[in-house]
Structure 1
């Protein structure tokens, strides 16, 4: 099973907690790390913006990605939330197997 690290940023702790809990409860993710606030600087609709955000590190699989993305989009308040999936090409085999076992796909 091909594993992924999915990244997203949330505007506040309540949103971050709700998304993390839903993803794990629905077995779209084996684990979600909720990181401390970061300051993001970005261009949006032609203007440079800055916002304080809560990053999430989501461990999942390719087979769960479509449902995971839909679950984030359904709960995320941004018009275009950052959702980036990176393949995990190496890792402790037992940990990668655990991710596969704990996800729905």
Structure 2
């Protein structure tokens, strides 16, 4: 099993918690961590600075497309960040945890 982290950001902690809960309940993610961040970016040729909630979603690589679809379904942004990060190295025990808690 190949493990990955999927990252996305939300405009509110409530939206982030909802996405995390659905991903865990549907066994698409083994763990989702939420962090409050401040994001700086250009959107439609305008400088933006917003408080957001970052989700780090630990899962199987095979679940990326399902997670992407679920985020697009539940997310309020027109263009949500959905990034896959490969886990290059992790303890066998943690990889087992991810495998045991996802479909």
- What RMSD over aligned residues (CA atoms) do the two structures have, in Å? 0.8
Distance apart, 1:34 and its partner CA: 1.2
1:1-105 equivalence runs, <5 A: 1-35=1-35, 37-104=36-103
Q: State the alpha-carbon separation in 2 of the partners of residues 75 and 38 from structure 1.
A: 20
Q: Tell me how far apart the structure 1 counterparts of residues 42 and 2 of structure 2 sit (CA, whole Å).
A: 33
Secondary structure of the residue aligned to 1:14 is helix
Question: In the aligned structure 2, how far is the partner of 1:39 from the partner of 1:31?
Answer: 22
The C-alpha deviation readout for 1:54-102, integer Å capped at 9, x for no partner, is 1111101111111111111111100100111100010011111110121
Task: Specify the SS of the correspondent of 1:49.
Answer: strand
- TM-score, scaled relative to structure 2: 0.96
Give the TM-score taking structure 1 as reference length: 0.94
SS in 1 for 2:78: coil
CA distance in 2, matches of 1:100, 1:63: 11
Q: How far has the Cα of 1:33 moved from its partner?
A: 0.6
Which aligned runs of 4 or more in structure 1 are off by greater than 2 angstroms?
none
